[in-house]
Structure 1
Amino acid sequence: MTARGWDTEGRVDFLDELHLAELGPIIGLQQWPEWVLPVMKLISALGTDTFYLLCLPLLYWCVNPALALRLGLTVMVAATTNALAKLAWHQPRPYWIDGRVRPLSLEGAFGLPSGHAQSGTAGLGRLAWLSGRPWAWWAAGGLVGLVCVSRVYLGVHFVSDVVTGVMFGLAVLALVVKLERPALVWWRRQALWAQLTASAALSFVLIGAAALINASYAGWSPPPAWSPAGAIDPENLDRVVILAGLLAGTLVGASVMHRIGWFDVGGPAGVRAARWLLGMLVAGAVFYVMRELLPQTGVVLYAGYALLALWVQLGAPVLFIRLGLMSPARQVQPVQ
């Protein structure tokens, strides 16, 4: 049942034994009444980086662009490091190795560490840090705890997966808090062409790192013990490519927006709602064309998600200003 499909010594054997020991608690949780299932699925959604990325346009266009950028970049760092860690560890999910675990949610990627736990910890922790209030930390901790329980209940994570995810999330949070200020100062000192080049380079480095990790597992195939999972493709790099596109589009959009001047998110509630509706309609159209009308190649995914991020960061605010739905900012530099 080892990740590489043959007997090894050390870390992998330990994880195999740990996973077997963790099956009992998962099966026990799944004995809860059926009404718990939709509740757990709803709670689970709070820990996805997709949830944050869907909410960020509302925050960016209508509430606080500085907060949206901070939160968005934090979640992207958490999501990208998580995707690389999953590929590096090559570890299964509970229902992949034991038919007694019900797959109440289907996942095709590897399981360790939990992305929900990691993104939830980093994202909610970032909000709590920015709030600076004790109750915010308690609330964030409580929500992350519920997300972790939900992932174990759904049969898609071992307890060790979510614990590791929380630890990685805390590490990302500490890293972002420590490096945000010096990184921002350095970035602003660069010429625009250098910022755009660095944005693309960082995204390609992410894809290259994922490819190199997969290369270290050359010839790997899912072990026979993972047969309950059915047909899976956990080494697929589509998620990494999507995150790379989002990262490039976000950095490019924010860099150009800083050069041309930011925007004022004030205005009546109706005007803010109009911004959000118009912005999401365009984003939805781009997403539909990319996902339904174009071939799902790596180039299409990268370019499509980069375009979506660029629309949110730059295209939409410029259009809103021209349509009179938004005013230019009186003071630039929203990220302090």
Structure 2
Amino acid sequence: MIDIEIAFIQALQDQAAWLLILMQFFSFLGQPEFYLLIIPAFYWCRDPRLGLRLGLLMGISGGLNEALKVVFHLPRPYWVSPDVRAFGSYPSFGLPSSHAQGAVTFWGLIAAHVRRWWFWISVVAIILLIGISRIFLAVHFPTDVIVGFAVGAGTLLLFLALEEPVGRRIARLPLSGQVLVALAGSLALALVSVSALATLGDWQVPASWAAGALERSGQPIAPLSLRDAATASGLLFGFAAGAAVAWPKRGGMCAVGKWSVRLLRYVSGILVTGAIWFGFGLLIPKDPGIAAFALLYIQAAAAGAWVSFGAPAAFAYLNLADRS
């Protein structure tokens, strides 16, 4: 299968080289950074309830993807083949594709909310193009993308089925109980990745994978690191805990208002988010120790809590948003 998929990637790169910029654009639409820019826009400026649902779903999906990558511990195409050109570089394992999985969960939830046939067609096209872009850039095998689509669809369907009954149960808890549920859920998500890593035992990344990746992309790999798992778990806790504090008091955030005011909300909120993120980043050591993982968790939790609670509270205080 690897030989067949490498040949397919090589043919795609050779026959459609002119699509590189377009493929890089659609690949960006599946980047975690894209979701971190768009979810606050929904939460602060358009539809707070949809923004809340997207934030929770993407946190769960991201943590699950990190664990599954370790479970399968399979390489990316440019790690193992000199016959493909590496138009991107990623330090994590390849299966399942986080871009494919995230595209199905993110765009699928929005489509389920919009419920318009023309929007569904657009969403399907976007999801497919994101998947194709990952193959074209030689950062994923076709199998990685297909499995990512399947895992994303399963995650989305499970979320849609459980969000209402689980949400009602959590809403009946006191605030302290809701925050504890958010903490327990995030730690459970991190524990899944830790358990997956433990099952590998003494297995090591083949030296040929590391050498091939470095030779063809110029970037080292670290697929056994839990840094991304700590970040995903921290974001889930901060966002969920912040929402637990914000929603009972004000019913969430009122996103109506002039577009100029909404734009001011978004720009100021994102700037503070960036300051929190990069400010904490200066404190995080590069070594893969427990201290680094703890600080990564705190960094992500602080950013998530700012998005769901801190920013709405600041907007209300500054009269950039209503309190109801």
Normalized against structure 1, the TM-score is what? Answer: 0.89
Q: CA deviation at 1:44?
A: 0.6
Q: Is 1:244 the counterpart of 2:239 in the alignment?
A: no
Whole-angstrom distance in 2 between the partners of 1:132 and 1:210: 34
Q: CA deviation at 1:319?
A: 1.0
- 1:98 is aligned, of 77, 81, 84, to 81
Aligned residue type for 1:75: M
* Kept after mapping to 1: 8 A contact 2:64/2:189: no
- 2:282 is aligned, of 292, 297, 306, to 292
* Kept after mapping to 1: 8 A contact 2:91/2:222: yes
Whole-angstrom distance in 2 between the partners of 1:129 and 1:76: 18
Could you report, residue by residue, the CA deviation over 1:193-221 in whole angstroms, capped at 9, with x for unpaired residues? 11111111111112222111111112221
* Kept after mapping to 2: 8 A contact 1:200/1:248: yes
For residue 243 of structure 2, what is the aligned residue in structure 1?
A: 254
Q: CA deviation at 1:280?
A: 1.4
* Kept after mapping to 1: 8 A contact 2:10/2:83: yes
Alignment size in residue pairs: 312
Q: SS where residue 183 of structure 1 aligns?
A: helix
Q: SS where residue 105 of structure 2 aligns?
A: helix
Alignment of 1:182-221 (within 5 A): 182-221=165-204
Aligned residue type for 2:233: A
Q: SS where residue 266 of structure 2 aligns?
A: helix
For residue 71 of structure 1, what is the aligned residue in structure 2?
A: 54
For residue 303 of structure 1, what is the aligned residue in structure 2?
A: 298
Q: Is 1:177 the counterpart of 2:160 in the alignment?
A: yes
* Kept after mapping to 2: 8 A contact 1:203/1:245: yes
Q: CA deviation at 1:168?
A: 0.8
Aligned residue type for 1:141: V
Whole-angstrom distance in 2 between the partners of 1:294 and 1:302: 10
Aligned residue type for 2:56: L
* Kept after mapping to 1: 8 A contact 2:246/2:308: yes
Whole-angstrom distance in 2 between the partners of 1:90 and 1:316: 38
Whole-angstrom distance in 1 between the partners of 2:270 and 2:130: 27
Whole-angstrom distance in 1 between the partners of 2:77 and 2:116: 37
Q: CA deviation at 1:172?
A: 0.9
Could you report, residue by residue, the CA deviation over 1:77-102 in whole angstroms, capped at 9, with x for unpaired residues? 22121111101000111111111111
Gaps of 5+ in 1: 1-17, 330-336
How much identity, in percent, do the aligned residues show? 34
For residue 83 of structure 1, what is the aligned residue in structure 2?
A: 66
Q: Is 1:325 the counterpart of 2:320 in the alignment?
A: yes
Q: SS where residue 249 of structure 1 aligns?
A: helix
Residues 285 and 224 (structure 1 numbering): CA distance in 2 closer, same or farther, change over 3 Å? Answer: closer
Q: SS where residue 282 of structure 2 aligns?
A: helix
For residue 45 of structure 2, what is the aligned residue in structure 1?
A: 62
- 1:44 is aligned, of 2, 22, 27, to 27
- 2:142 is aligned, of 156, 159, 166, to 159
- 2:259 is aligned, of 249, 258, 269, to 269
* Kept after mapping to 1: 8 A contact 2:56/2:240: no
Aligned residue type for 2:231: I
Q: Report which stretch shifted further, 27-36 or 263-272.
A: 27-36
Q: SS where residue 327 of structure 1 aligns?
A: coil
Q: SS where residue 47 of structure 1 aligns?
A: coil
Q: SS where residue 233 of structure 1 aligns?
A: coil
Q: CA deviation at 1:294?
A: 4.2
Cα root mean square deviation, aligned: 1.4
For residue 271 of structure 2, what is the aligned residue in structure 1?
A: 281
For residue 221 of structure 2, what is the aligned residue in structure 1?
A: 232
Q: CA deviation at 1:67?
A: 0.9
